Chains A and B, each alone.
Chain A
Amino acid sequence: MNSYLNIDHVGITFPTDNGPLNVLDNVNLKVEQGEFISLIGHSGCGKSTVLNIVAGLLQATEGGVLLENREVREPGPDRAVVFQNHSLLPWLSVYDNVRLAVDQVFKRTKSKAERDEWTRHNLELVHMSHALDRKPDEISGGMKQRVGIARALAMEPKVLLMDEPFGALDSLTRTHMQDSLMEIQAELNNTVIMITHDVDEAVLLSDRIIMMTNGPSASIGEILQVELERPRDRLSLAEDRDYNHYRAEVVRFLHERHVGKRPQTAAETATDAGAGQDETQGAQEKQGLRLAV
C-alpha cells in the first residue's frame, strides 16, 4: 500500500472572477520507484497543474501528495522540475546554471572540488561538456533543454518532473533528446513524471501512460501499461505490433475526448482561463506597473 509517490485524491479549485473553478477532481495515482510515467491529455485539462502540485509549486485544495510517506507541502530539490521553456538564467553560463543548483543542494555534503566534478559529470551525461562557458543565448533550443535536464538531474531528485520538456523543439532535435533521455534513464533509473502532447513520445518512453479527461474537474481517464522491452529502439518499434497497438489506444482515447469535448465550449474556455490564471495575473501586475511609467 505504501508506494513511493502517492498522489492521493488530489483536487484543486481556483477562485476566479466568475466564482470558484474546479480544475482537478479526485486525481489518484501511485507511482513506484524507477517508474517512467507520462501524462497525456488535451490542452488545458490540468496536466501541468498535477505536475505543479507534485512539485509543490501549487497547493492542492483537496487530498495531497505523499513522497516516501511524507507530505509534500512546498517545492524542493527532491522534486526537480524540467520546465518547458528550459528556464535557464540567461546571465549565467551553462556550467554556472548547473553549479547554482549543485551548490544549493550539496552545500553541506560535498566539497568544492566534488561539486565541480559533479556539475561536470551531469553536463557530460547530457553531452554538453563542450559548451560549459557559453551563455544560454549562445546555444540552440535543444542544447538549452539538455542543460535544463542536467540541472534537474544534478539535484539527485527523488522524482524528476518534466513539463513538456521537448514541446518547443523541432522534431529532429526532439528525437535526439528522447534517445538521450532513454539512455540516461537506463543508467540512472529515475522516477519520472513527464507531461507530453506527443503520442509517440509517450509510448516510446513510458512504463505507464496516464490519460487525463478534459476539464473542468479533470481526472484520470485511463491508464495504459506499456509493456515493451527495454532498451527500446524507435526504428524497430515502428513496425512492432504491440507498439502500434499502444499508440492506437492513446490516439483513440484522445480522439474520443476531443469529440466528447465539443458540446462544452463554454466550460472549455473557463478551464483555459483557469489554467492560465497565474500567468494572466502576473501579466496584469506587470501591466499595472507599465502603465505607471
Chain B
Amino acid sequence: MSIAIRSHKTFEITWLENAIGFLASDRLTKTTGKLARNVLVPFTAILVFLLLWAAGAQQVQTSLGVLPGPAKVWEQTKALYDEHVAERDKAAAFYERMDKRVEKAIAAGKPAEKIERMKSRSYTGKETFIDQIFTSLWTVMTGFVIASLIAIPVGIVIGMSQTLYQAFNPIIQVFKPVSPLAWLPLVTMVVSAVYVSDDPWFSKSFLNSAITVTLCCLWPTIINTAVGVSGVSKDLINVSRVLKLSWFTKTLKIVLPSAIPMMFTGLRLSLGIGWMVLIAAEMLAQNPGLGKFVWDEFQNGSSNSLARIMVAVIAIGFIGFLLDRGMLALQRTVSWDKSAVLR
C-alpha cells in the first residue's frame, strides 16, 4: 500500500505521486518513508538540477569561455572564501605594522598631531565577496526597517479611516509600480544635495541604496496593513462598542492583533522586493554590495568571472530565502494565528 499523499487527489498527477510513493515507501516503515520524502526527494531534485546544469552549461560557448558548471562554481566559491581570509590576514598585518610605527614615532617624540594622523589611517584593501554580502545585508535591513517604521503606522491609519484611504490610495497606486531604478537617480541627487556633512555617519552610497530600498518596501506593507486593519470583523468591533473600549484599547487589543497576519504578508513581500531592488540598485549605482560585485566581475571579464557571478547569484538567492524564512519565524512567534498556513 502506498502512503497517502496530500496532493494526490488535489492535483491529480497520480503517476508522479505513485512513482514517488513507490520509491519512498512500500517496503519501508512509515518514518523512513517520511524521511525519504522530506530529504531524499528534494535532494534528488537538486541532484537532477546539477546534472542538467553541468550537461547544459558545456554546450554554451561565450566570449569568456564555456559557461561554468557546478564544479567550477564550487571551485570559485572556495577561491572567494580563500581570498576573503587572505585579505583579512593582510589587513591584520597592516594594522600590526601601523601599531609598531606609531610606537616608534611616540618613542622618537614626534608631534601628537602627526601620531593622530597615523593612527586614523585605515586599511584600504578591496572589499571581498563576504564583505559585500554583509554590506548588502546591512543596507537592505536598514532600508526595510525604515520602510516598516513608516508603513505600518500609515497602513493602520489608512485602514481605520475610509476618507484617508481614499485620499492616499491614488498616491500609493501610482508610486507602487515605479521601478527602483527610476527612483535611484532622484535619490542620488537629493541625497548629495541634502546630506552634506563633514563627518558623515553613513556614506552617501549606503544612503542611496537604503533609501531606494525603503521607497520600494513601503507600498506592500502599507497596502496589506490597511487591508488587514479595515478587515477587522464587524462583530469584534461591536464587542468593543458594547464594552465601550477606548480608542487606544480598541486599537491595541482588537484592531492590531487581527491585522497582524496581513501585516506580515506585507512585510514579507516588502523584504523580498527590497532584496531584489537592492541588488539592481547596487549594480546600477556602483554602490558597495553584492550588486557591485556582480557588475565588477562582469566588467572584469576574466576566465573566472562567469563562475564568480554564478556564486553571487546563488548567494543572493540563498540569502533572499533565509530572509524570508526569518520573517516567517518572526511571524510564527508574534502572530496569534498559529493555524494559518505559513509558506
A interface residues with partner B (beta carbon < 8 Å): 55-57, 74-77, 79-81, 83, 85, 87, 89-92, 100-101, 104-105, 135, 137, 155, 278-279, 282, 285-286, 289-290, 292-293
Distance from A119 Cβ to chain B, minimum over Cβ atoms (Å): 14
Q: How far is the CB of A81 from chain B (nearest CB, A)?
A: 5
Query: Which residues in A have their C-beta under 8 angstroms from that of B241?
Result: 56-57, 74-75
Q: How far is the CB of A118 from chain B (nearest CB, A)?
A: 15
- Are the CB atoms of B233 and A87 closer together than 8 Å? yes
Structural contact, B169 and A292, CB atoms closer than 8 A: yes
Q: By the criterion CB–CB under 8 Å, are A83 and B244 in contact?
A: no
Task: Tell me which residues across on chain B come within 8 A of A292, comparing CB atoms.
Answer: 169, 172-173, 223, 227
Task: Judge whether A137 and B227 touch: CB under 8 Å.
Answer: no
- Kindly state whether residue B19 has any CB partner on chain A within 8 Å: no
B244 CB contact (under 8 Å) in A57, A76, A87: A76
Q: Are B336 and A282 neighbours in the complex by a CB distance under 8 Å?
A: no
When C-beta atoms are compared, the residue in chain A nearest to B249 turns out to be: A104
Looking at the complex, which one of A75, A79, A89 makes contact with B254 (CB distance below 8 Å)?
A89
A104 touches B224 (CB 8 A): no
Q: Are A80 and B227 in contact (CB under 8 A)?
A: no
Interface residue B337 (Cβ < 8 Å from any Cβ of A): yes
Q: Find the A residue at minimum CB distance from B238.
A: A57
Inter-chain contact A76/B242, CB cutoff 8 Å: yes
Partner of A89, one of B159, B223, B236: B236
Bound CA–CA A76/B226 (angstroms): 28
CB contacts (< 8 Å) of B159 on chain A: these are 289
Which residues from chain B contact A278 at a C-beta distance below 8 Å? 234
CB of B254 to closest CB in A, whole Å: 7
0/1 interface trace, chain B 216-232, chain A, CB 8 Å (1 if under): 00000001101100110
Contacts A89-B253, A285-B230, A289-B226 given; indicate if A137 touches B339 (C-beta within 8 A): yes
The answer, yes or no, to whether B94 is at the interface (CB within 8 Å) is: no
12 A–B contacts from the bound complex (CB under 8 Å): A55-B242, A57-B238, A75-B238, A81-B242, A90-B336, A100-B243, A104-B244, A104-B245, A137-B339, A285-B230, A289-B227, A293-B224
With A282-B234, A286-B231, A293-B227 already in contact, the answer to whether A87 and B239 are too (CB < 8 A) is yes
Q: Shortest Cβ distance from A53 into chain B, in angstroms?
A: 13
Distance (Å) between the CB of A276 and the closest chain B CB?
Answer: 12
Q: Is A77 a contact partner of B244 (Cβ separation < 8 A)? A: yes
Chain A nearest CB, measured from B268 CB (Å): 14
User: Which residues of the other chain, A, contact B224 by a CB distance below 8 angstroms?
Assistant: 293
User: What residues on A are CB-neighbors of B339 within 8 Å?
Assistant: 137
- Least CB separation from B244: chain A residue: A76
Contacts of A80 in B (CB 8 A): 242
B109 to chain A, nearest CB (A): 70
Nearest chain-A residue to B166 (Cβ)? A288
